[in-house]
Amino acid sequence: MDIGSVVGVKIPLSDDPVVSTSRVDYLAGLIFHKGFDQHHVFTNIDLTFNGDYALRSDTTNHTTRFFGMFAYNYETNGGNTFIIEFKYSTAPFEDPSIEYLYEISSATNMGYVWNLKDGTSWELFVLEDNEPYKNYSDISFGVNYSHPY
């Protein structure tokens, strides 16, 4: 089993309260990986430290949140990869009057990565929120492009 770590800093690019908290947020986490030929299993757990954010006068944010993920990747003979991920996160806010702000979030992400001969890759994915259907968009589609330098 391979074990790695991740650290991150989110720097706000706007002080508009609709878009940003206007505060620096930090992340620290562990990544676990186990490969079995074409089958790969990943998991991670992240802890974030977020600045205070007043959504409403009676709604406070959780300045510490946990995120977790379990992922399975299958690498085809051509080197392309099928991805399925299950993501979980603790609630972003504390406000019992607004149900969706204080519940655990869960989502499933499925995607496929096409690796090209020049080292670049394209990923197409879809993310769907799971029960209790809180704190994620209902369904999201995305495309990622990766280019080595």
pLDDT digits (tens, 9 = 90+) for 94-122: 766 666 666 778 889 999 999 988 889 99
Q: What is the mean pLDDT of residues 52-76?
A: 82
What is the CB-side half-sphere exposure of residue 39 using CA atoms within 13 A?
A: 1
In a domain, 56, yes or no: yes
Residue 14 lies in a domain: no
User: Confidence band (pLDDT; 50, 70, 90) for 51?
Assistant: confident
Domain for residue 123, yes or no?
Answer: yes
Position 70 pLDDT exceeds 90: yes
What tokens appear for 125 in the block? 């994915």
pLDDT value for 101:
60
Number of structural domains the chain divides into: 1
The three state secondary structure string of the chain is CEEEEEEEEECCCCCCCCCCCCCCEEEEEEEEEEEECCEEEEEEEEEEECCCCEEECCEEECCEEEEEEEEEEEECCCCCEEEEEEEEECCCEECCCCHHHCCCEEEEEEEEEEECCCCCEEEEEEEEECCCCCCCCCEEEEEEEECCC
What does the pLDDT average to over 7-35?
82
Q: Is residue 133 part of a domain?
A: yes
Residue 68 lies in a domain: yes
Give me the amino acid identity at 7.
V
Residue 99 lies in a domain: yes
The domain of 105 spans: 33-146
Residue 134 — pLDDT band, cuts 50, 70, 90?
low
pTM beyond 0.75, yes or no:
no
| 62 — pLDDT class (breaks 50, 70, 90) | confident
Instruction: Give domain status of residue 11, yes or no.
Output: no
